Amino acid sequence: MDPLVAGLYAGDPEQLSVSAVFPHLKRLERIYGSVVLAAIKSRFGSGTGGSACNFARRALFSFRDGLGVLPQAIARHLADRLFLNQYVESVRRAAGGGFVVTVRQHRVAHSSKADSVVIALPAYAAARITVQLDPSVAETLAQISHPPLAVVFLGYRAHAIAHSLDGAGMLTPAVEKRNVLGIMFSSTLFAGRAPPGHAALTAFVGGARRPQLALLKPGELQDLVHDEVRRLVGARAAPLLARTHVWHRGLPQPGLDHAPRIAQVAALEGGHPGLFLTGNYFSGVSTVACVQQATETARRVQHYLASRRAGDEALSQGCELIQK
């Protein structure tokens, strides 16, 4: 479990909730009574709950041109209904119903009124803007930890690496005390990540296991990862290309008390009709889980607005009858 948790959540398995991190495993345990039994049954084809062993593989998801394809496609679809570089400072209740959203662009702040608001931000950012709605929920959101995570992308000539890279990559157990959480064989997994005759590797450094490593300088991170690539897959020459991106707040860690925390956050919606929260701290960090969660939220918003419209129409018809 330890390498898997490090690979998917950059997390510490001792501190994470199984139901939040591996809802699929929890479901299999419910269906079969044990995860081992579920694995055996799905191996021999008599299971109905899906394979216990392929969930990690399914979590490896990307587009041909990278994950950025998804927000870019959504932006194209929204066209002039999308407002970029607007920093939301706060959401609060409006006097006559609905919400007031205060947004800052550069140094200028302005407020707008909205019937409904969807907060689709990381937990720490949602915490900042919900303080005026409910300081205690804001505090709960702020407590969800996001340890720093560095992503180091290295490109080599294929023949400079002894290993055939015939797999998805590797995840390292904490007991080995390695400097990487895992290394993905990006050019094996996804087309177009490296030119012919070259290999691209993506390494993850830091997370809950060793957060301080993610904060090294880019050159230090690249040296550290190259050294691990040398030991683990036999790199015989320096990389031709190196890119580093540090996420100072990486992935949310659903701790052992995650379920009551999420219940408290969900109750905020109940207390403020028209307010919706979604994001990767609810039901999984993978893009697939985020899209599912967002789709479900969009349905709830649609339902809320439709029932509000129906209520308004009924009210105006009632007024007409009274006037007649």
Ligand X SMILES: Cc1cc2nc3c(=O)[nH]c(=O)nc-3n(C[C@H](O)[C@H](O)[C@H](O)COP(=O)(O)OP(=O)(O)OC[C@H]3O[C@@H](n4cnc5c(N)ncnc54)[C@H](O)[C@@H]3O)c2cc1C
- Our finding on whether 250 is near ligand X (CB under 6 A) is yes
| Binds ligand X by CB under 6 A, chosen from 149, 161, 170, 181 | 149
Kindly indicate which of the ranges 18-26, 154-162, 189-197, 286-294 contains the residues binding ligand X, using the contact rule CB under 6 A.
286-294
| Contacts by 87-95, CB closer than 8 A, 24 or more apart | 88/121, 88/129, 89/128, 89/129, 90/129, 90/131, 90/132, 91/117, 91/119, 91/129, 91/130, 91/132, 91/133, 91/275, 92/132, 92/133, 93/133, 93/272
CB of 33 to ligand X, least distance (A): 30
CB of 139 to ligand X, least distance (A): 17
| Binds ligand X by CB under 6 A, chosen from 5, 207, 290, 297 | 290
Q: SS in 3 state form for the chain?
A: CHHHHHHHHCCCCCCECHHHHCHHHHHHHHHHCCHHHHHHHHHCCCCCCCCCCCHHHHHCCCCCCCCCHHHHHHHHHHHHHCCCCCEEEEEEECCCCCEEEEEEECCEEEEEEECCEEECCCHHHHHHHCCCCCHHHHHHHHCCCCCCEEEEEEEEEHHHECCCCCCCEEECCHHHCCCCCEEECHHHHCCCCCCCCEEEEEEEEECCCCHHHHHCCHHHHHHHHHHHHHHHHCECCCCCEEEEEEECCCCCCCECCHHHHHHHHHHHHHHCCCEEECCHHHHCCCHHHHHHHHHHHHHHHHHHHHHHHHHHHHHHHHHHHHHC
Kindly indicate which of the ranges 27-35, 186-194, 232-240, 281-289 contains the residues binding ligand X, using the contact rule CB under 6 A.
281-289
What is the per-residue binding string for ligand X in 62-91, x denoting contact by CB under 6 A? Answer: x----x-------------------xx---
CB of 8 to ligand X, least distance (A): 9
CB of 58 to ligand X, least distance (A): 10
**Structure tokens given for 224:** 């550290």
Question: For the sheet containing 87-93, what is the strand order?
Answer: 87-93, 99-105, 108-114
Measured CA to CA, the distance from residue 241 to residue 196 in angstroms comes to 15
Q: Which is nearer to ligand X, 149 or 183 (CB)?
A: 149
CB of 254 to ligand X, least distance (A): 12
- Our finding on whether 214 is near ligand X (CB under 6 A) is no
CB of 184 to ligand X, least distance (A): 8
Kindly indicate which of the ranges 154-162, 255-263, 269-277, 282-290 contains the residues binding ligand X, using the contact rule CB under 6 A.
282-290
| Binds ligand X by CB under 6 A, chosen from 251, 265, 268, 277 | 251
What is the per-residue binding string for ligand X in 102-131, x denoting contact by CB under 6 A? Answer: ------------------xxx--x---x--
Q: Which is nearer to ligand X, 87 or 234 (CB)?
A: 87
Q: Which is nearer to ligand X, 74 or 314 (CB)?
A: 74
How many residues line the site for ligand X (CB under 6 A)?
Answer: 21
CB of 2 to ligand X, least distance (A): 19
| Binds ligand X by CB under 6 A, chosen from 6, 16, 137, 151 | 151
Kindly indicate which of the ranges 18-26, 111-119, 134-142, 277-285 contains the residues binding ligand X, using the contact rule CB under 6 A.
277-285
Kindly indicate which of the ranges 61-69, 105-113, 155-163, 164-172 contains the residues binding ligand X, using the contact rule CB under 6 A.
61-69
Which residues make up the interface to ligand X (CB under 6 A)? 61-62, 67, 87-88, 120-122, 125, 129, 149, 151, 247, 250-251, 279-280, 285-287, 290
